[in-house]
Amino acid sequence: MPGPHPHDQSFPVAVLASTDPVLRESVAFGLVMDAPGVVVVRHDVLAKYGAVRRVVTDGSGVLEDERIPLEHACLSCAVREDALPTLARLAADGRWTGAVLALPLSAESLPATRAIAAATQPGGLLARAHVATVAALVDLATFEADLLDAETLGERGLALTEDDERSVGEALAAQVEHADLVVTVGERSMAPTGSGLLDRLRAADSHRLDGLHGLGAARLLGHRHDTVRGERRAHPLGARGPLRGPLLPGDLSWTLELTSRRPLHPERLLEQIEALGTGRVRSRGVFQVADRPGTACHWDGAGGQLYIGDLGPWVEACAGNPEQSRLVLVGAADDEDPLPRLHAAFEAALLTDSEMADGALVWIGRDDALAPWLGERAVR
């Protein structure tokens, strides 16, 4: 995390993300009690009513509690139409030295941070402000189940829209992977696997803080978020490399990094995709398919769900990186070591020597097995 800027007179705005309502409220309350100059803006998307609820608090109590109708009750709308002007208004008021934006539960921090950072540019609505720390809040006691089990946000009452079908793990992983700071509650020793999973998931250049007692306003507002680093963490290639062995006694977490310069065979990828992308695994990365030369494909899985998509030309989507498939899988072992099975499934999907020798022309005229997920390919 970049160091503090003691002489920086711009207005700091920290961003908080969580899937736990009690944890979010505890942190918000602690921050306003810790520093009278801090104001907290909390949003909750009320998709059923086509609205967003905004609650503004400081050390004196609740200052605002309003329901704002939105044309589309989505997070990007809430940030653009309400959070940005609210933060600008609070910054201009002069009563506070910094603000904390507590995002709706399950919201990813990256889109909100992008919007705020764009508004802080010269001439923007928040030109006299800057993005401070982006933080994710995590309960170690539930982290393993939240990340790896198949419960959806809708089943937990945390869906941001009526058609939000994400798993809890998908939302949680995105929050942790993008964060500058991951704040935990719960004892490491009581949840060694959850603690291990967290350290394998969070970015190598992020920081971890165990316990809310150390989370003062200065910790959140005294630093400046590096947007380039944040984008790099959230990129499909941003997954952390393997951390070797158990990280604590009793830790059953593991990381498997699968890489190859050989493209994947489209039909055999479909045969192996369930083995690689479903189950109690968080996986993300990029891959290349033999019938789409020069194209980068996106892989993102959690909570038993898997998304694959077309990222566009490799040179643009993965600038500076060789055309090499890289999937990073994080999970927890049970009675059987899953790593040999996962490695074998990946190897089975790669082109063979003879298929590599055939070249790209062999795919012309063949059925496009991945078109439903990747769109129509350029090679016919």
Query: Could you tell me if 316 and 173 lie in one domain?
Result: no
Among 234, 268, 286, the domain-final residue is 234
Q: Is the pLDDT of residue 3 over 70?
A: no
CATH number at residue 183: 3.40.50
Q: Is the pLDDT of residue 280 over 80?
A: yes
pLDDT tens-place string over residues 109-146: 999 999 999 999 999 999 999 999 999 999 999 999 99
215: three-class secondary structure by DSSP: coil
**Span 30-54, mean pLDDT?**
90
Query: Could you tell me if 229 and 267 lie in one domain?
Result: no
Q: Is the pLDDT of residue 33 over 80?
A: yes
Query: Could you tell me if 168 and 34 lie in one domain?
Result: yes
Distance separating the N- and C-terminal Cα atoms of the chain = 47
**243 falls within a domain:** no
Pairing, β 253-260 against β 207-210: unpaired
Q: What percent of the chain is predicted at pLDDT more than 70?
A: 96
Q: Is the pLDDT of residue 250 over 70?
A: yes
Structure tokens at 314: 């490799």
The pLDDT, as a whole number, for residue 316 is 95
pLDDT tens-place string over residues 60-117: 999 999 998 877 656 677 777 889 999 999 999 999 999 999 999 999 999 999 999 9
**247 falls within a domain:** no
Q: In this structure, what are the phi and psi dihedrals at residue 207, rounded to the nearest 5 degrees?
A: -120, 150
The pLDDT, as a whole number, for residue 352 is 95
**244 falls within a domain:** no
Asked whether the beta carbons of 132 and 220 are under 8 A apart, the reply is: yes
Query: Could you tell me if 221 and 355 lie in one domain?
Result: no
Give the Å distances, CA to CA, from 376 to 157, 314, 323, 331, 373: 36, 17, 20, 33, 9
The pLDDT, as a whole number, for residue 72 is 65
Give the residue numbers spanning the domain of 321.
253-374
Write down the mean pLDDT value for the chain: 92
pTM of the model: 0.94
Q: Chain centroid to CA 362: how far?
A: 38
**163 falls within a domain:** yes
Please state, in angstroms and rounded to a whole number, the distance separating the CA atoms of residues 226 and 261.
31
Q: Is the pLDDT of residue 174 over 50?
A: yes
pLDDT tens-place string over residues 209-237: 999 999 999 999 999 999 999 999 999 99
The pLDDT, as a whole number, for residue 337 is 84
**Span 46-58, mean pLDDT?**
88
**94 falls within a domain:** yes
The pLDDT, as a whole number, for residue 350 is 97
Asked whether the beta carbons of 38 and 14 are under 8 A apart, the reply is: no
Asked whether the beta carbons of 1 and 87 are under 8 A apart, the reply is: no
Structure tokens at 351: 């082109």
Query: Could you tell me if 200 and 347 lie in one domain?
Result: no
The pLDDT, as a whole number, for residue 2 is 44
Query: Could you tell me if 217 and 261 lie in one domain?
Result: no
Query: Could you tell me if 63 and 201 lie in one domain?
Result: yes
**241 falls within a domain:** no
CA-CA-CA-CA torsion sign (129, 130, 133, 135): positive
Specify the residue for token string 């479903």: 278
Specify the higher pLDDT residue, 334 or 55.
Answer: 55
Q: What percent of the chain is predicted at pLDDT more than 90?
A: 80
CATH number at residue 358: 3.30.1220.10
Query: Could you tell me if 65 and 168 lie in one domain?
Result: yes
Give the Å distances, CA to CA, from 237 to 71, 185, 233, 353: 35, 29, 8, 26
| Lowest pLDDT segment from 98-112, 237-251, 253-267 | 237-251
Q: Chain centroid to CA 186: how far?
A: 22
The pLDDT, as a whole number, for residue 70 is 77
Query: Could you tell me if 328 and 270 lie in one domain?
Result: yes
Residue 208, beta-bridge partner list = 182
Please state, in angstroms and rounded to a whole number, the distance separating the CA atoms of residues 39 and 365.
61
**242 falls within a domain:** no
CA angle 206, 285, 200 (to 5 degrees): 35
Q: Is the pLDDT of residue 272 over 90?
A: yes
DSSP string, 298-329: EEEEETTEEEEEEEEEHHHHTTTS-S-EEEEE
Query: Could you tell me if 42 and 93 lie in one domain?
Result: yes
Query: Could you tell me if 337 and 365 lie in one domain?
Result: yes
The pLDDT, as a whole number, for residue 50 is 79
**178 falls within a domain:** yes
The pLDDT, as a whole number, for residue 5 is 42
In the sheet where 305-313 sits, what is the strand order? 253-260, 325-332, 281-287, 295-302, 305-313
State the total domains in the chain: 2
pLDDT tens-place string over residues 317-365: 999 899 999 999 999 987 678 999 999 999 999 999 999 998 877 887 7
Helix axes 109-119, 84-93, angle to 10 degrees: 50
Query: Could you tell me if 310 and 356 lie in one domain?
Result: yes
For residue 54, give the H/E element and its range.
strand 51-58
